[in-house]
């Protein structure tokens, strides 16, 4: 691992100790984990915003494309109920 990451020993040491190597490795792992979590949260928020925009676009299209309401026919069921005061 020391050779792969090209880790050099400190000042007077002739070799790299495991404590020295893993102190850097532990710091890297913690920072990477924190960055990964923040990035995943950012991606989730972006997907939620995109989904909300799609829903708003679809809902906007539906209200614009809704068919006009039909007028009540004279003598029809709704007209008779409205005359009796049972329908608003």
> Can you tell me the distance from the alpha carbon of 74 to that of 24, in angstroms, rounded to the nearest whole number?
85
Residues 6+ apart with CB under 8 A from 81: 87
pTM of the model: 0.52
Give 29-76 as a 3 state SS string: HHHHHHHHHHHHHHHHHHHHHHHHHHHHHHHHHHHHCCCCCCCCCCCC
- Which of the four pLDDT bands, split at 50, 70 and 90, describes residue 10? confident
Q: Name which residue leads in pLDDT, 44 or 19.
A: 44
pLDDT at residue 71, as a whole number: 73
Per residue in 33-72, pLDDT (tens digit) is: 999 999 999 999 999 999 999 998 888 877 666 666 777 7
């Amino acid at each position: 691992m020391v050779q792969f990451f090209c880790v050099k020993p400190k000042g007077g040491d002739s070799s790299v100790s495991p404590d020295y190597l893993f102190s850097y490795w532990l710091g890297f792992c913690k920072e990477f984990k924190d960055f990964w979590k923040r990035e995943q949260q950012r991606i989730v928020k972006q997907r939620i915003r995109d989904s909300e925009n799609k829903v708003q676009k679809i809902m906007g299209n539906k209200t614009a494309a809704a068919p006009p309401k039909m007028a009540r026919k004279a003598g029809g069921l709704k007209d008779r109920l409205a005359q009796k005061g049972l329908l608003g």
